[in-house]
Amino acid sequence: MSKKEIKFSLVYRDMWQSSGKYQPRVDQLKQIAPVIVDMGCFSRVETNGGAFEQVNLLYGENPNLAVREFTAPFNKAGIQTHMLDRGLNGLRMNPAPSDVRKLMYKVKHAQGVDITRIFCGLNDARNIIPSIQYAKEGGMIPQASLCITYSPIHTVDYYVNLANQLIEAGAEEICLKDMAGIGRPHSNGKIIKEIKKLHPYIPIQYHGHSGPGFSVASMLKAAKSGVDYIDVAMEPLSWGMVHPDVITIQAMLKDAGFVVPKINMEAYMEARRLTQTFIDDFLGYFIDPSNKIMTSLLVGCGLPGGMMGSMMADLKGMHNAINMALKQKGKKEVTLNNLVVQLFNEVESIWPMLGCPPLVTPFSQYVKNIALMNIFAAAKDEPRFSLIDKDSWNMILGKTGKLPGPLAPEIIELAKANNLEFYEDNPQDAYPDELDRFKQEMKENGWDEGPDQEELFEFAMHERQYRDMKSGAAKNRFNQELEQAKEKAGTPIVIKRPVVEIPMFSFEEITAEYPFAKPVHAPCKGQVIWQYDLMDASTAPFEGATIEKGANLCYIQNYYGIEPVTAGYGGTIVGTYVGQGKEVQKGEILAFIN
C-alpha cells in the first residue's frame, strides 16, 4: 500500500489578517510571489478574500490590480490559488445582494483565482449553497466550509450531515475551518474520517489557528484520518494567533510516514526575509503584539484568534467606564486582567443562550459585544442583555441565518418585549438585487466597469470604500495614518481633523444630574467625527439639542470606512462624553440622551 500524500497550502493572506490591520501592498505581493513559488512545497496559496480587497481600498489603491498581480505567478507555476468567501456576505461584513454575489465569482475567476472557500458563520446551508452554484457558473472550484466549534450541538454527526448536504448541492471540496483552533483533535479526525468514508473522492482541507494550542495535534490527526491539504503559515508570522509553521508540520508528518513535499530552505529564508522587510517598512506599525502570543484561555470561551487584538482594544476602551460605574455604585474596581477573565466567562455563559453560533466573523464580534455590554450593565446594576446592538439583534432574530441551537427563553421574551419579530424566510430574500443602480451611477460618473466588470463588482461590494478610493480621500487618510504611526511608533494613532468645539462633561457630572439619561455607545472602533464635510450633517449636535430616534448623532471613521452613529431613542442631548477626533473603542460611551 502506497503512503498517503499530504499537500500544503500557504495562507499568506490570513497570516497578515490574523496578525494586524493591513495586508501587503501590490508591489510587495509581486516581490514575494516568485519566492513562494521557489519554496517548492506549496500546492496552493491563499491569495485574497476576507478583508483583502477592503484593505487595498483603505490604501486608496485598486484591489483588482492586487489580485491579478498576486495570482499571476502562481497560475504560471501551476499552483492553485484560493480565496475566502463569506457566503451571504460575499467579501464584506454585511449581507450582499445575489446579483453582486454571482458577479464576484466571474470576476475572481477572470483575475486568476481558482478556488473559493465558502463559509457561513452560522453553518446555515442556505447561505452556502447559492454560492456553490454561483461559483460553478463563474468557473471556480467551490470549497464548502464547516465552521468548527465545540459544543453539545456541534457533534461529529452534525458536521458530517452538513458536509453531506453541501456535497449533494455540488460542493467539490470540503474545508474544516477551525477558525479559533478550539476543535478537539480527536473529533476533528472523526469528522474527516466519516466524510472520507462516505465521499472518498472529495478533497478535504484542514485550516486551524494555533491560538489555544490544539492545531498541531489536530493536523496530525487530520492527516491520519485522510485529509488531503493542510493550511500552514511561515515565519515571521507563524504561531501565536496565526497558524503553525510549515517546517514543523512537514517534519511531524514526515516522521509519521506521510509523503510530504521538500522545502527549499534557501527560498524559505528569502521569503522570511522579505516578509520581515514588509513588517519593517510599515505593516509592523499595525500588528497587535498580543496576536503573537498563544493562550489556553481561548479553550473555554472559543473566541477566534484573529479578533483578540480588537477585543483587547475594546476592553481597554471600556475599562475606565466600567470602573467609574462600579465606583458610583460603591463597588470594588477591577483590573484589566480581571476584566479579561470576566469577559471570557461571560462569553462562555451567554453563548448557549444565544443559540451557539460558531464564533467566527461577524458572529464572534456580536457575542463578544453582548458579553461586554452585560458586564457594563452589571456594573450599573442594570439587567443582563439590556444593551444589545442592532447587528446582534439581527443574528438573534434570524435575519442572517438560522442559529444552530435554541435561544434561551429569556432572550425570546426580551425580543417580544422590544416588539421585534423573528425572521423565518431565506436570508437572501431580504436583500434585493442592486447591480443596475451601480451600473447607472458608474455611467453617470464616467467610470469604466473595467475588464470582466471587475470595477462594477468592487463598487457594488464595497460602495463606501470604493468612493473614497476614487476620490483620493482613502489614500490621503492612509498616508496621514502611516505618517503618525511612524512618528509615534506604536502609540495610539489619531488622525487629525478640523476641530469642532463640543462641550464636554465627565461621566459623574452627567449621571449625577441626569440619572435616567441613556448612553449612546460606539458601534465600532475608530475616530469620532462630530461634523464631517463628506456627510450630510451640516452642524454638530450640542448640549440641549433635540434628536429624533434613528437620526445621525455623529460618525466614526473605522477600519472599513465611515459609519454613522444613530440615536437608538429620541430625546435631549444632555452631554457629549468624547471629544472631536478622539479614538474610541467599540462599546465606549459617546454621549447621553435624556
Does 442 reside within a domain?
no
Whether the pLDDT of residue 380 is over 60: the answer is: yes
Does 64 reside within a domain?
yes
Structure confidence at residue 494 (pLDDT): 42
Are 143 and 175 within 8 A, CB to CB?
yes
Structure confidence at residue 109 (pLDDT): 98
Give the domain-ending residue among 429, 450, 475. 429
Q: Are residues 386 and 407 both part of a single domain? A: yes
Give the domain-ending residue among 389, 409, 429. 429
Whether the pLDDT of residue 450 is over 70: the answer is: yes
Are 137 and 478 within 8 A, CB to CB?
no
Does 458 reside within a domain?
no
pLDDT category, 420, cuts 50, 70, 90? very high
Structure confidence at residue 296 (pLDDT): 86
Whether the pLDDT of residue 334 is over 60: the answer is: yes
% pLDDT > 70, the chain: 89
Does 496 reside within a domain?
no
Task: Give residue-wise pLDDT tens across range 476-513.
Answer: 988 988 888 787 765 444 444 444 444 555 555 665 66
Structure confidence at residue 504 (pLDDT): 54
E strands in 233-305: none
Taking residues 126-151, report their average pLDDT: 97
Structure confidence at residue 492 (pLDDT): 43
- C-alpha to C-alpha distances, 93 to 58, 87, 170, 561, nearest whole angstrom: 15, 10, 25, 12
User: Grid coordinates representing 573?
Assistant: 442631548
Q: Are residues 151 and 277 both part of a single domain? A: yes
Q: Are residues 364 and 511 both part of a single domain? A: no
Partnered with residue 573 across adjacent β-strands are: 593
Structure confidence at residue 534 (pLDDT): 37
The span from the CA of 54 to the CA of 498, in Å, is 26
Does 495 reside within a domain?
no
Q: Which spans in 12-149 are helix H?
A: 12-17, 26-39, 52-59, 63-77, 98-110, 125-137
Write out the residue range of the structural domain in which residue 387 sits. 295-429
Whether the pLDDT of residue 66 is over 90: the answer is: yes
Q: Are residues 373 and 268 both part of a single domain? A: no
Q: Are residues 379 and 322 both part of a single domain? A: yes
Whether the pLDDT of residue 318 is over 70: the answer is: yes
Task: Give residue-wise pLDDT tens across range 524-557.
Answer: 777 777 654 333 333 445 556 778 887 878 888 7
Q: Are residues 299 and 219 both part of a single domain? A: no
Name which of 325-334, 456-465, 566-575 the model is least confident about: 566-575
| Closest by Cα among 262, 268, 185, 264 to 227 | 185
Structure confidence at residue 496 (pLDDT): 42
Whether the pLDDT of residue 324 is over 80: the answer is: yes
Structure confidence at residue 484 (pLDDT): 80
Comparison of pLDDT for 576 and 296, the residue scoring more: 296
Whether the pLDDT of residue 311 is over 80: the answer is: no
Structure confidence at residue 495 (pLDDT): 40
Taking residues 322-350, report their average pLDDT: 87
Q: Are residues 246 and 328 both part of a single domain? A: no
Task: Give residue-wise pLDDT tens across range 24-33.
Answer: 999 999 999 9
Q: Are residues 379 and 282 both part of a single domain? A: no
Taking residues 352-366, report their average pLDDT: 87
Task: Give residue-wise pLDDT tens across range 102-122.
Answer: 999 999 999 999 999 999 999
Structure confidence at residue 322 (pLDDT): 87
Q: Are residues 392 and 273 both part of a single domain? A: no
Whether the pLDDT of residue 587 is over 90: the answer is: no
pLDDT category, 123, cuts 50, 70, 90? very high
Task: Give residue-wise pLDDT tens across range 177-228.
Answer: 999 899 999 999 999 999 999 999 999 999 999 999 999 999 999 999 999 9
* Mean pLDDT over the full length of the chain: 87
Comparison of pLDDT for 471 and 566, the residue scoring more: 471
Are 195 and 276 within 8 A, CB to CB?
no
Does 494 reside within a domain?
no
User: Grid coordinates representing 279?
Assistant: 513588517
User: Grid coordinates representing 88?
Assistant: 451571504
Are 153 and 356 within 8 A, CB to CB?
yes
Q: Are residues 278 and 301 both part of a single domain? A: no
**Assign residue 343 a region: left if phi > 0, alpha if psi is -120 to 50, beta otherwise?**
alpha
Task: Give residue-wise pLDDT tens across range 184-194.
Answer: 999 999 999 99
Taking residues 150-154, report their average pLDDT: 91
Task: Give residue-wise pLDDT tens across range 255-275.
Answer: 999 999 999 999 999 999 999
Give the domain-ending residue among 429, 444, 459. 429
Structure confidence at residue 569 (pLDDT): 77
Q: Are residues 236 and 283 both part of a single domain? A: yes
Does 475 reside within a domain?
no
Tally the domains of the chain. 3
Q: Are residues 272 and 307 both part of a single domain? A: no
Taking residues 330-337, report their average pLDDT: 88
The span from the CA of 513 to the CA of 331, in Å, is 21
Name which of 41-55, 103-117, 149-163, 354-368 the model is least confident about: 354-368
Structure confidence at residue 3 (pLDDT): 86
